[in-house]
Amino acid sequence: MNNKKDLIDKLKLYLVTDRKIAKLPLTSVIREALRGGVRAVQLREKDLSSRELYDLAKKIRKITREKKALFFINDRIDIALAAGADGVHLGLQSVPADEARKLTGNKFIIGVSTHSLKEALRAQKEGADYITFGPVYQTPSKEGLVDFKGPGAVKRVREKINIPLIAIGGIKEVNARDVVLMGADGIAVISAIMADGKPYMAARRLVEEL
């Protein structure tokens, strides 16, 4: 991205995929979500083989490019580079952002999942372009793995970091505005769009809340 303002604009509504809960084929959900206002998509399908993930990534890259949306691959730097993605999103067990940067170059966007202020500060120090922070609310995808933080934690992290902060975890239409008021630059959602039978309308409602 040309600057932080452009990046924040694209990350306001960020869709993370989970084809197992989707009511429609994954590519259809993504098309409809982008039409509804999603500006960034992260492909996160951990059970696929490398070839399956690459083939799916190429399809989604085409769709996101048509809509001028950002496209990230979860964790897999090799697939992200091979598929022509805009960036990679790194998790707790991934390589550090500064090491990923050596492999990808300065134009590649690197995001990092964080679950505490300490992790957020470390990600920023290592050169992440943005972080996701959460889970803000209780969410099935992190149940038993990470305690939910509450919207107040978003404010505490926001006060200490200066890179874009995207809130994630249990965020839906009813609470999206709350996390933005606490300082989040955007929201990342999974089930709020993926599990909705009308992803276009789900995305539109979230955009209106934001």
The residues carrying an active-site annotation are 44, 113, 142
C-alpha gyration radius of the chain = 16
Scanning the structure block, which residue is given the tokens 């955007």? Answer: 186
Q: CA dist 144 to 78, 107, 139, Å?
A: 30, 36, 10
In terms of DSSP H, where are the helices of the chain? 4-10, 26-36, 50-66, 77-83, 97-104, 117-125, 151-158, 176-181, 191-194, 199-209
User: CB under 8 Å to 119, separation ≥6 — which residues?
Assistant: 92, 112
